[in-house]
């Protein structure tokens, strides 16, 4: 099996997790990992909202699948737009890691204890919106790069650029940078991106052999929850350019969805916290997103 991946240390680590899962179930399977450079990897300076949002980390991978240069590709699910291109499908979603965001800080406090006017690095408009809601006195500052680079700019800098940064817990923990975490941020305040901390493997719909192999590492429970989050994203009709958050979990036999949507200028932030019957959760999540979009547009 030829597997495509981005070239960052985190992406390769995550791809090796997929390879390990596959080979544990299919010991005779040989996996060949191919590094594919994406626009988001090549341009580490331009804000994501300018160079194209979520698609900047996946388009080249998807083109390689369609061109049959690779059989499948491994993605961080939060990087994927809500609509998968025609002819492709998500054949496996792996069990989820810690979905929270974390604070990396030069100071000995959590987010609530940062000094007024502190500069907080992030490339995510979702995080910028929630930061503005929780601590409007803080200054969001664009911060790109891999996990190690972003952490280093905070902890090894002179403090003139960044006092702190907000990153996904899953990436920090997978890169074994636990010691740099100042605070795990509460999901009710910093609601994650749809699909955050889950890995997805994409392949061609007509590649039945690859689909069958990937089905053996698919986690139904994680998929049922992230599909609700992605339904909300689909209802919003936006990707990384829209400040949108969604996190679903099991609660008393139902599926609880906590979600956030902000307008483009981040002057209005709307939140929902609803619990649905599992069989209607995706439809209701999408409908709620439509309602939030209408209320913000007004």
As annotated, the active-site residues are 79
What are 103's two structure tokens? 């604070």
* Cα–Cα distance measured from residue 130 to residue 111, given in angstroms and rounded to the nearest whole number: 12
Kindly state the tokens that stand for 239. Answer: 């990707």
Residues belonging to the chain: 298
- The answer to whether the Cα torsion of 80, 84, 85, 88 is positive or negative is positive
β-bridge mates for residue 166, sequence order: 103
Phi, psi of 292 (to 5 degrees): -65, -40
CB atoms within 10 A of CB 156: 8
d(CA 140, CA 124): 10
**Which phi and psi angles does 168 have, rounded to 5°?**
-75, 130
Quick one: DSSP state of residue 161? S
Helix (H) or strand (E) holding 190: none
User: Using the 8-state DSSP alphabet, how is residue 175 labeled?
Assistant: T
Whole-angstrom Cα distance, residue 162 to residue 91?
40
CA neighbours within 13 Å on the CB side: how many for 98? 15
């Amino acid at each position: 099996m030829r597997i495509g991946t981005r070239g960052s240390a985190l992406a390769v680590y995550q791809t090796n997790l997929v390879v390990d899962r596959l080979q544990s179930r299919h010991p005779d399977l040989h996996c060949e990992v191919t590094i594919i450079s994406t626009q988001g990897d090549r341009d580490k300076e331009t804000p994501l909202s300018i160079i194209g949002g979520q698609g900047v980390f996946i388009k080249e991978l998807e083109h390689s699948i369609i061109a049959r240069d690779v059989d499948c590709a491994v993605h961080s699910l939060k990087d994927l737009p809500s609509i998968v291109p025609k002819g492709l499908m998500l054949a496996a979603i792996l069990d989820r890691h810690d979905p929270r965001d974390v604070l990396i800080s030069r100071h000995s406090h959590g987010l609530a204890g940062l000094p007024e006017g502190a500069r907080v690095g992030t490339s995510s408009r979702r995080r910028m919106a929630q930061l503005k809601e929780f601590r409007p006195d803080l200054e969001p500052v664009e911060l790109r790069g891999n996990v190690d680079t972003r952490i280093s700019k905070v902890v090894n800098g002179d403090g003139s650029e960044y006092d702190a940064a907000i990153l996904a817990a899953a990436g920090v923990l997978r890169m074994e940078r636990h010691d740099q975490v100042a605070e795990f941020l509460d999901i009710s305040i910093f609601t994650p991106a749809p699909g955050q901390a889950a890995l997805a493997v994409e392949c061609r719909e007509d590649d039945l052999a690859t689909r069958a192999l990937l089905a053996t590492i698919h986690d139904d429970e994680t998929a049922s929850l992230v599909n609700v989050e992605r339904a909300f994203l689909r209802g919003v009709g936006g990707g990384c350019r829209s400040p949108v958050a969604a996190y679903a979990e099991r609660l008393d036999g139902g599926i609880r969805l906590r979600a956030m949507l902000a307008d483009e200028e981040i002057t209005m932030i709307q939140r929902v916290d609803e619990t649905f019957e599992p069989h209607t959760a995706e439809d209701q999540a999408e409908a709620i997103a439509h309602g939030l979009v209408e209320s913000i547009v007004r």
